[in-house]
Chain A
Amino acid sequence: MAERAPGRGGGDVSTTVDRPASVPAPAEPSRPGPVSWLTTTNHKHIGIMYCVTAFAFFLIGGALADLLRTELAEPGRQLLSNEAYNTTFTIHGTIMIFLFVAPFGAGLGNYLVPLQIGAPDMAFPRLNALSYWTFAGGGLLVLLSGFAAAGGGTATGWTAYPPLSESRLSPSIATDLWIFGLALVAMATLLTGINILTTVFLMRAPGMTMWRVPIFTWNMVVTSILGLVAFPPAVAAFGLLFLDRRVGGHAFDPLGGGDPVIYQHLFWFLGHPEVYILILPFFGVITEIIPVFARKPLFGYLGFVLATLAIGALSVGVWAHHMFTTGVVDNPFFSAMTFTIAVPTGVKFFNWIGTMWGGKIRLATPMLFTIGFLLNFLIGGVTGVLLASAPIDFQIADSYFLVSHFHYTMMGGAVFGIFAAIYFWYPKITGTMLRESLGRWVFYLLFFGFNLTFWPQFVLGLRGMPRRIVDYSSGLGFETPNLVSTIGAGVMTVAVLVFLADLWISRRHRIPAGDDPWGGSSLEWATTSPPPEHNFDAVPRIRSSRPAFDLHHPELEP
């Protein structure tokens, strides 16, 4: 039988937990007070903290984007100085990638992985807490680097290429703060990755073989491996950059025998897998959602696993497709590798369609966002194939075409996945429902606003508008698409406000959710909402990859 230590926070340091064999009465979930949030090691609380913090960064990054779009709505300079604009897009990019999408994925993984495999917590709970706080501290430093000190905010672009990011042209201490903050975020990612891998490999419930683990958890496994492999070179790049800047190094300084291209190799060795780290958790999210709302099993489980592994492994070999225009890398090698990644991604798309095929599809809000994901990500993916061709890349790289491509995958994909995840798992996490009516508004506004913002940016790129420019000349055909794009950004802002309203209303007027409001397949739906402290008072029998579904449909049991 499980033993509980007396009191919460303080008292005994640890609890020894045994797996329960029978079904005791469900325990009252504890409501943490403010100090408990600072000291908790419970994966569910840490997961929530990650997601909430990440979402707060999203709001900041989004506000910065609105500033950028407002400046670009018309030619000529209206709002921002050159320096301010350059800092704004630097921090916007850094926040969205490192402080929003990635940590949100980590938070979801933190919350869901132990539940989905039937474990009571992560393998290393205190390390988990350390990961979160390291991320929060690093994020704070990065935010400060946007407006710290007399030297001005860091304005190197999120890619921070030397020689621009060297101390001569970026003298402000802000860039060093940025480097330090990101190094902390990188450390947090590595620690979480170790935690997730250990948990999945060693703490599954009986009968939960690796081939029955939900695809979301598989995706978190591959994400974690990618993080472990890819982050160290970037930290090395940042470390060398710091040495160049402050300690008299010349790693990237041609006058001192160095080469700025080396930085690009090191940076993109992380940079490319990073975008897969960003998207894979959300591939997992929609792979969980579609079967539930189509009321069918997943189509091609093995295909999903193999495709995810292939995407992960291949993504490590494509990094220099970001360097096609440098003239100093082997373009055909990277072009070929990049084309190859299109294949497993395509397989996933067809498997998702196969999951919908023959179903009884209910278009509840999570499913709406999932469809949005599919429609948007396809455009992102196809334009990615265009970019994989080096000669085509000679025209569209570093233009607004590229900006639109990555926003279609990252925002049209990952962010839609984030909203899908929120609407899907909010009932499990809080025990209450979000409003379907408002959720639909959020979806339609966001989908319309998103496409209105970014479709014109393809046009801009093709017409010759480069990226990262504060201003553009009139008479080149850039005015109308920019204006339309800015209007779209406004619509997206409204969508986010409606979402915040939904959150607010749902917390004030609660509708109870029950254990399983959607008819879910994976284990988290077989426990209470919210789950008890150690997740399961009784783990059900596991005979397939959809244990909760089997529990409610014993007549179909394999």
Chain B
Amino acid sequence: MTTPAVRRALRALAVVAAAVGLAACSSSFGMPRGASEQGQDIFSLWHTFMIAGIVVGAIVYGLIGWSLIRYRRRRADDDEALGRQFHGHVPIEIVYTAIPIVIVIALFTMSLRTEQRVADLSPDPAVTLHAEAFAWGWRFTYEGQNVTVVSDPSGEGVTGPEIALPRGETVRVVLTSDDVIHAFWVPDFLFKRDAIPGHVNEFDVTPTDTGTYQGVCAEFCGLNHAYMTFRVAVMEPEVFERWLSARRAEEVAT
């Protein structure tokens, strides 16, 4: 089976696999890397899962592909040719039941630890932001600051409201809904949470990178669901304080 040609091909394959593997190690596989601590935590979990998924996928695709190549009926075979008539192989079956069980337990454990960290609520958040979702916009209120940011009536082409968050500090978001189920989703934070009428959902965000990030409603809520967008601007804490004062002044003036 291992002729020189086959060995050369396998060596080439190993080189390619190593190159692909190295590229994969640093790839984000399309996911934002996370502009918050919680987001980065989820990102590294995602990365691990993707590597595991690609390896499993490559093995299974490889086996299928190999079967199709190696065990294809050849023109030389007569019409009635049969394959090898075996019904099973218990040791192999046990192995490929046990290995997935181990993999799955490992993946679950990692996932559980990440969830506990992400869902953890700090005893002393620097800022508390009340986010009220309604059909079809948002009302954001900074607790104790006398600052409220509200959506204009939504529609095609209308950009939603912009809220600010301080970089490096923990923000508690208190999420509620006035009417139907909505969801608060900022893809760059790798996090969404439903806003359910009759329930109060709380979560912490600790932004790490300055910038402006898109926010959307992620639970179908009727006619203008697509237009319930908002933006999150993460800024240095001093800049954030100035932003708050400016908004407070605006409110007094109106």
Contact = CB atoms under 8 A, between A and B. Distances in A.
A470 B226 contact: yes
Contact of A395 (B135, B187, B217): B187
Contact of A301 (B46, B63, B88): B88
A326 B84 contact: no
A374 B64 contact: yes
B82 interface: yes
A360 B181 CA distance: 55
Contacts of A374: 64
Interface string B48-69: 0110010011001101100110
B42 interface: yes
Contacts of B82: 295-296, 360, 553
A362 B97 CA distance: 29
Contacts of B217: 466
Contacts of B97: 303, 343, 346-347
B67 A398 contact: no
Interface in A344-379: 346-347, 349-351, 353-354, 356-363, 371, 374-375, 378-379
A164 B183 CA distance: 13
A451 B18 CA distance: 27
B219 A398 contact: yes
A299 interface: yes
Interface in B8-51: 29-32, 41-42, 45-46, 49-50
Contact of A354 (B89, B188, B203): B89
B100 A353 contact: no
Given A332-B115, A391-B111, A394-B192, A361 B67 contact: yes
Interface stretch (A36-44, A334-342, A437-445): A334-342
A353 B67 contact: yes
A391 B42 contact: yes
Interface stretch (B71-79, B144-152, B162-170): B71-79
A360 B77 contact: yes
Given A260-B196, A395-B42, A462-B31, A299 B107 contact: no
Contacts of B68: 356, 361, 363, 371
A466 B226 CA distance: 8
B87 to A, nearest CB: 5
Contacts of A363: 68, 72
B229 to A, nearest CB: 7
Nearest to A458: B30
A326 B183 CA distance: 9
B85 A328 contact: no
Nearest to B102: A343
A356 B219 contact: no
Interface in B120-175: 135, 156
Classify chain B: how many residues form its interface, as a range: 35 or more
A358 B86 contact: yes
Nearest to A170: B222
Interface of B: 29-32, 41-42, 45-46, 49-50, 53, 56-57, 60-61, 63-64, 67-68, 71-73, 77, 81-89, 92-93, 96-97, 100-101, 104-105, 107-108, 111-112, 114-115, 118, 135, 156, 179-181, 183, 185, 187-188, 190-194, 196-199, 201, 203, 214, 216-227, 229
24 contacts: A86-B223, A157-B220, A163-B197, A164-B220, A254-B197, A260-B181, A261-B199, A295-B73, A295-B81, A297-B86, A300-B87, A300-B89, A303-B93, A335-B112, A336-B108, A346-B97, A361-B83, A388-B111, A389-B45, A389-B49, A391-B115, A395-B190, A398-B219, A468-B225
Interface of A: 76-77, 82-83, 86, 155, 157, 161-164, 169, 254-255, 258-261, 294-303, 325-328, 331-332, 335-336, 339-340, 342-343, 346-347, 349-351, 353-354, 356-363, 371, 374-375, 378-379, 382-383, 385-386, 388-392, 394-395, 397-399, 458-459, 462-464, 466-473, 476, 553, 556
